[in-house]
Structure 1
Amino acid sequence: MDKKPNHRLAAHMKEAGASNKGLARRVCEVAARHGEQRGTTHVSVQRWLDGGGIQPQTAAFVAEALSDKLHRTITPTDLGFPGPVPVTPTAGVNYAKSLPEALSVLDGLARLRPEDDPPSELLLTEADVDHAALTWLVSRPDGLSNDSAGSRRVGMRDIAAIRTAAGYFMQLDFQFGGGHAHKAFRHYFREEVLPLLDASYSAKVGTALFGAATEISQLLAWTAYDSGNHTLADRYMMSTLRLTQVVDDRMMGARILANMSHQANYLRQASRAMRLARAAIEGGRAHSTPRGMALFAAHEARALSTVGDHTGAGRAMNEAERFFELADTGDDPEWLSYMDEAELVGEFCHCFRDLGKSREAVHFAERAVSLTDPKYARTLGFCRMVLAQSQLLNGELEAAVTTAGLAVEAGDALQSARFQRYVTDFQHAVSVHASNSTVQQFNEQVRDAMTQMDDE
């Protein structure tokens, strides 16, 4: 794509008497004044003059630097830079038309905390979801620009660092829940990952870079979801889906759609959950490993179970099993390492619980509890709570309350809104036995655990 010289920036620099090196130095000084760092050099400035892209926050620093020099207010738009995408409750809801728009939205989202919860009515509409899924399904990759002249040259060591950080963050999320992890995630993403997307890199490195960036971005979406901020999670997922289009990472894109299906199912939006799961299956079919396809099929089974479709759910579970039997025949990405037998069995125990098949639910939940590695503390907590719900469904009140008590005892440090809802849903289910002493002791245990979490 041809770039047009930025005459507005050139004119303001000329008026201010600022050279490329001089402006670069002033931009770094302005950034430091705001407590941030920028590696801006004369090469960066020349790239902007030639029409190259710029991060929204950097554009603001350039405008401030020239405002100081000219003693009047200069905006990024005055300098020929794109206006910033405002971070409002609706920002990022629509599928971004361009990569710069997606990056601008992500930059803004990374400045929001999970507790900054927009109104729930601003969650994605059915039309928004359908448009995003369809656009992604029929999209062609943007491709990478090979003429980037960013001041920093990204190499495979940078990619390795991002992937290592992603592994640490994922484990932090599994062990302690999204509420504990999100703050560290968003700081790292904003300060260490987003700036690299505007740097210089080869085609090979660029492909790996965008793959690593989507891993961190989807973790931000997931931890926002686990913290209970569904609007923020929606916007992260939508923008992350758009990132996968850059280098045509269809497997990761399918994973994002599956994550959106998971969230929709949690919110009891079964119809949306089914469409998203099927979009993940169709979009990822020709590009995903058997293990990935097993994950996508399992999410379809979850959605079908929610609406009580016994035949459809059974078919989807069988399909997931068939794919999983071939799991070791594919070269899986590192981010899929958690998708083991315990994870699959855990998905199935949810399905049988929702289908009201108490014997199967208990059987699969017991297997899930025994198979789940304790390092996946949140997953283990979910499986224990599903086992408790299944035992209750099977008429085993005492066993159910005992199992739920073990889950709360082991999971009271989890800063996970989802885990807390599993517990409150169980409390509601056993409320008909409120006079039972075991139930009363369990409710007291939950109150103590919640008080302890509030004090931490």
Structure 2
Amino acid sequence: MTSSSATSSQPNRPPRPNLAFRRLRGRRSPAEFAAAVRRAAREIGERVSCDARYIGRVEAGEIRCPNYAYERVFLHMFPGRTLTDLGFAPRSSVRGRGRGARTDEDTPPVHSQSPAQSTSETRGPGEPYDTTQDPYDTHINYEESDVLRRAFMTGGGATVAAASLGPFGLALDASAAERPVRRAGSSEAGALEEAVRRIRLLDDRHGADGLYRRAAAPLRAAYALLDAGATRQATADRLHSGAGELAISVGWLAHDSGRFDDARSHYAEALATARMTGDPALEAHAFCNTAFLARDAGRPREAVRAAQAAQRIARPLGSARLMSLLALREAGGWAGLADRTGCAQALTRAHALYDRGSSDADPEWMTFYGEAELEALEAQCWSTLGDWTRASRHARRAAHLQDPHFTRNIALYTAELADDLARGGRPDEAAAAGMRVLDLLDEVQSSRIQAMLAGTARVLLPHRRASGVSAFLERHASTPRQV
């Protein structure tokens, strides 16, 4: 992580308002324009979560040049115009001037460079999944993140811990939350929200095992901020929502790395925060994850109850995609109870709700939920019910449909496929799928995936003579378990 004394490109230059971009917005409010940006992104298959705050920062000149995802969206919205026509600075002018600075977007990273020596395009605060950059590529520096870190560094020890979940890795000060802090403002709330996005991005790319222990300190810091109080009620609301979402994210890291008791505690903490502040969106999210955990922990009836509670809470929020996911959570519980009828009915609802399409009401955290995830969750239901043919068919679709940037999910879906094929009497195909998972384990650290692969290996042991099975078993046995 770059120290607070690190300087970005032209750090003392005051921002100039982007009047050209403001004119393009016309009579629409920032929120209305942000909704138009999100719609345009969906039209071209991009993933941005633009909000009114991002539009305001662009118009204020704080974002001199958008990242590549936003660039593609803006140029799609205003065909025939360049970034300069939209009021942005040339990309080359916001790159670092150090010896390793890149001059072309296709130039490979120079990893020997210090993080303090380079700046790149600004990343929008509302974009949780910028798949154009590697979050572990520590030589990259974004102007916005640098400004955010500098603001956070003045806020006391606890805020430093929360801010450290930035694009430069997860180096944390575990004692930070114990030191006194001043009353939190909007910069602290923004950095907390950014920490949640970073955790989600890193998990999607690399799995949970390497993140969980390092994510605990920012969570303690977040609740220290709540205890310190906020300068305004709006900021306090953002802090509570951010702390709750962070608790869910850390809970998921615990969940995916097999620490079920820790995960249950974190989800309960998020649920309590949601109920104290009257935040139905956060409460629905907490129940959603609680249902998933209950299913994995062998408590299927609790999974059904939690999923049904989430649906009651989420219905007024107006997101069909959220209701679809919650129906899948319920289906998983019914499958665990061996209730094929209840499972099938919930799956039918999930598909019908999914087919209504996405909307502006969809929560930001649901960016992972697409057709691939729907297929994968259905595969898990049929697998639980012992219908290996159906399960493998849906798992294969999931792996095929998944965006290649979501490495962890590709590994997960392929591991599901391998297990379903093995149990369905197709050992050669199972071994081939297992080999593809092993190829990804250098990038992905997930106890869930490793446990699934170990189960597949046990099922394949009696089939050593089948094509490819012996090679898979030998390679699996020689693969070290990640800690």
| TM surpasses 0.5 | yes
1:284 aligned onto 2:324 = no
1:208 to 238, 246, 251: 238
2:248 to 201, 218, 223: 218
Aligned to 1:275: 305
Give the Cα–Cα distance (whole angstroms) in 2 for the partners of residues 165 and 39 of structure 1: 17
- Contact 1:221–1:232 at 8 Å: present in 2 too? yes
Shift of 1:280: 1.7
Aligned to 2:6: none
- Contact 2:208–2:256 at 8 Å: present in 1 too? yes
Moved over 6 A (4+): none
- The aligned amino acid for 1:248 is G
Shift of 1:38: 8.4
Give the Cα–Cα distance (whole angstroms) in 1 for the partners of residues 181 and 332 of structure 2: 47
Shift of 1:416: 1.5
SS at match of 1:180: coil
2:363 to 311, 316, 333: 333
1:382 aligned onto 2:412 = yes
Query: TM (normalized to structure 1)?
Result: 0.63
Matches within 5 A, 1:432-447: 432-436=462-466, 438-447=468-477
1:314 to 322, 326, 344: 344
SS at match of 2:258: coil
Give the Cα–Cα distance (whole angstroms) in 2 for the partners of residues 209 and 449 of structure 1: 42
Matches within 5 A, 1:98-137: none
Q: Per-residue displacement from partner, 1:352-408 (whole Å, max 9, x unpaired)?
A: 222233332232112101111222222211110121222234432211111111112
Q: Per-residue displacement from partner, 1:117-163 (whole Å, max 9, x unpaired)?
A: xxxxxxxxxxxxxxxxxxxxxxxxxxxxxxxxx97343333322222
| Cα 1:255–1:38 shift into 2, 3 Å | closer
Aligned to 1:369: 399
- Contact 1:302–1:313 at 8 Å: present in 2 too? yes
Which deviates the most, 294-303 or 403-412? 403-412
Aligned to 1:165: 195
Structure number with the bigger relative contact order (C-alpha 8 A, sep ≥ 6) is: 1
> Bigger radius of gyration, 1 or 2?
1
Shift of 1:324: 1.3
Aligned to 1:191: 221
Shift of 1:313: 0.9
- Contact 1:278–1:300 at 8 Å: present in 2 too? yes
Aligned to 1:305: 335
1:236 aligned onto 2:266 = yes
Shift of 1:286: 2.5
Aligned to 1:352: 382
Unaligned residue ranges in structure 1 (runs of 5+): 1-35, 41-109, 113-149
Shift of 1:426: 1.0
Shift of 1:422: 0.7
Aligned to 1:142: none
Aligned to 1:399: 429
| Cα 1:241–1:288 shift into 2, 3 Å | farther
Shift of 1:423: 0.8
Give the Cα–Cα distance (whole angstroms) in 2 for the partners of residues 288 and 204 of structure 1: 23
- Contact 1:227–1:416 at 8 Å: present in 2 too? yes
| Cα 1:191–1:422 shift into 2, 3 Å | same
Shift of 1:197: 4.5
Which deviates the most, 271-280 or 387-396? 387-396
- The number of equivalent residue pairs is 312
Give the Cα–Cα distance (whole angstroms) in 1 for the partners of residues 414 and 251 of structure 2: 25
Structure 1 vs Structure 2 CA RMSD: 2.7
| Cα 1:195–1:384 shift into 2, 3 Å | same
- Contact 2:382–2:391 at 8 Å: present in 1 too? yes
SS at match of 2:362: coil
1:430 to 441, 460, 466: 460
1:415 aligned onto 2:448 = no
Q: Per-residue displacement from partner, 1:143-195 (whole Å, max 9, x unpaired)?
A: xxxxxxx9734333332222222111111112222221123322222235532
Aligned to 1:80: none
SS at match of 1:224: helix
Give the Cα–Cα distance (whole angstroms) in 2 for the partners of residues 39 and 159 of structure 1: 14
More helix by share: 1
- The aligned amino acid for 1:388 is A
- The aligned amino acid for 2:234 is K
- Contact 2:209–2:257 at 8 Å: present in 1 too? yes
Give the Cα–Cα distance (whole angstroms) in 2 for the partners of residues 418 and 268 of structure 1: 14
| Cα 1:436–1:359 shift into 2, 3 Å | closer
Q: Percent identity?
A: 24
- Contact 1:297–1:320 at 8 Å: present in 2 too? yes
SS at match of 1:259: helix
| Cα 1:249–1:152 shift into 2, 3 Å | same
SS at match of 1:361: helix
- Contact 2:219–2:246 at 8 Å: present in 1 too? yes
1:258 to 288, 307, 316: 288
- The aligned amino acid for 1:179 is D
Give the Cα–Cα distance (whole angstroms) in 1 for the partners of residues 298 and 222 of structure 2: 36
Aligned to 1:57: none
Aligned to 1:28: none
Give the Cα–Cα distance (whole angstroms) in 2 for the partners of residues 313 and 241 of structure 1: 26
Give the Cα–Cα distance (whole angstroms) in 1 for the partners of residues 154 and 188 of structure 2: 18
- Contact 1:353–1:389 at 8 Å: present in 2 too? no
Unaligned residue ranges in structure 2 (runs of 5+): 1-152, 158-172
Give the Cα–Cα distance (whole angstroms) in 2 for the partners of residues 326 and 437 of structure 1: 44
Give the Cα–Cα distance (whole angstroms) in 2 for the partners of residues 332 and 424 of structure 1: 36
Aligned to 2:162: none
